[in-house]
Structure 1
Amino acid sequence: MRPRRRTAAPLTIAALTAVLLTGCMADSWTEPHPAPTAIGNLGVGFEPSASPSPEATVVPAAGSWDDVRPSPGYRVVLLTAGDDKPTRTLVDAVRKWADAESVDLRTVTADDDLIDGIVRAIDLRPDLILSVGNDLIDPLATVTASHLDQKFLVVGAEVAEPTHNVTAVDWTGASFRGEGLGASSTYDPRSFTAKRCATAVRAGVAAVLHDMTGIVLWID
């Protein structure tokens, strides 16, 4: 008697749907995408009385960004490098914000090749690249000026002499500007609390959504 050949069980409707959805999600950023907008306005005390000059430091009033959120479908790449506690706290803050605001978030980890990681993030063509981790600052200074149509937000550090597409959020204890460069305050990993990191993400995104870019927000 010839042995019976076993055949694979057919995909259930649920399994087939999951496969199709996974494929659609993988390719979704190649589809046409409406320009993102800000939902909600900046509060009193966020914007200075005069338009800030490039590279200026702006100190917004606490909570003046609370009413701002991105429009549905906001595409953000979380660009990260390093496994120190401040970086992990920032990564967690970004993910919680993205989940709360239904942001379409993807993550690029750049530990092996920092510049290659930045390029991979740019190639995804997101609405915003949100960078966390001091290791990325020097490579960002090299790459960002050549990609002026891509918006970057750096949280917990800043790029020295940023172009108009690079915005940063700092506070006392978090103002790293690159190797060999002075900072506005002494680095203090204890200043990267979950609350402060969450605040920094929201304040920075609010600024970007309202086209206040190329500046440093100071949130002490």
Structure 2
Amino acid sequence: RRRPSNDHDAQAMVIDSLRQQVQDLVSQVTALNGKLVKSYDRFSDLEDALHHLSALNTGLLVEKAQVTAELTRLMEKATDEAARRGQAESARAEIEQELDDLSAGLFDQANTMVAEARLARAMSERKAEDTERALKETEEVVGLMQKQMQALQEDKEESERRMEEMKARMGKGKWVDRTPSPAPAYSLSLLSSHQPYQEFLLFVAHLRSIRPTSPQMPAMTTLLPLPFLSRLLSEDTDPTVRLDLAPSLN
């Protein structure tokens, strides 16, 4: 009976030893697995570092300092561009304002020139009308004078012809006393078709019309718009009587 007990103890010891060995093997396998995982992680880190170094060498990756410097440079460039753009917009606004002012000035100057041109044209037309009217009146006066000169010339020729006849009769001794024909009567005619004379008559008529209503002499400034006085002031190049500056008449 004692021998089976020893066998059982020996078997138990063997089993315990085997279990201990299995546990040791499991522990070793676990440790090896951990080391294997760590080696894989280390290999991955080394591979990442290798890729990083390769990227740095080839220029695919840059350092943080370089990125920061590049960002700073880009921000400064953007700031400068914004400042230049602001200056350009300010200059553009000033140029547009100057163009508006210049356009307004040119428009006012053009209006002034147009008004002056219209006034000058109106004055030229009025002066041309006055000149044409004066020329027409002068032509009429010259025509009347030519008619009078022609009549005088005819009378002179008639007188000379009669004198020749009288001399011829006296030379032949055949004087015949005849009743002399009456000499043609010449009447002195005054020309009253000249425009200034008509204006003078209107001026005198105006003075006569205001005399019964006003016992005093009217102010000269109220008479200057009349055609006769206006002609005196405008046509006399070196006036001897300045009616508009006479203090006693105004």
TM over 0.5: same fold?
A: no
When normalised by structure 1's length, the TM-score is 0.21
Q: Of the two, which has the highest radius of gyration?
A: 2
* Structure (1/2) with the larger helix percentage: 2
**Higher RCO (Cα < 8 Å, 6 or more apart):** 1
